[in-house]
Chain A
């Protein structure tokens, strides 16, 4: 089974802090994604990466950046956390190719106070 691991289940940070959310997958997947999930809005794509050191903006990249230094690890960075970034953050990956399902981690619930 594919395993996508997010390092923290719950985080509480203060406004203005720099925040790192880490994600690791163990199935040698090329493609990795960061989503945020908010009530009534569903999953929204923040950034994705289709290869090491490659990154692409998703639908809501503002206020975020990412890092993909190794194939198995994809980090989401909040340069200066704000209260409107309080959310559930989900990492996902899939194998190269078309029409294969995303595999998700269990999420990181971030609260910015």
Chain B
């Protein structure tokens, strides 16, 4: 399969554990944030988003937390499954008047059965 990133930070967890993936964003004026999942050989898949007027948003088994004070975003995955193994990366909208997303380089999540 394709390698999205050869030297990505890697988080290894056991099936059933909760996973937390972190992202530091760059621009204090960014007003919109997205988490993507990318499996080998596929394009990025939208997971969850959050606007800057919120600090937490929950989806199915996933929660995104936003800390604007320290410009930090996290993705929490509950009861991690082998199918969650992928590269996860965050994106911020740097709000130039036209939506322009800036992407992080990603974290590889490895889930062992």
Contacts and interface: CB of A to CB of B under 8 A. Distances in A.
Interface of A: 4, 31, 37, 39-43, 45, 50, 88, 90, 92, 94, 98-107, 109
A43 B21 CA distance: 18
Nearest to B33: A99
Interface residues of B, number: 29
Contacts of A109: 2
A42 B43 contact: no
A95 to B, nearest CB: 10
Contacts of B105: 40-42
A102 B98 CA distance: 13
B77 to A, nearest CB: 18
B49 interface: yes
B42 interface: yes
Contacts of A88: 2, 4
B100 interface: yes
B22 to A, nearest CB: 16
B32 A99 contact: yes
B46 A103 contact: yes
Nearest to A94: B99
B103 to A, nearest CB: 4
Contacts of B2: 88, 107, 109
A50 B98 CA distance: 9
Interface in B17-41: 31-32, 34, 36, 41
Nearest to A4: B43
B46 A101 contact: yes
Which of A92, A94, A98 has the largest number of chain B CB atoms within 10 A? A98
A42 B103 contact: yes
Nearest to A108: B43
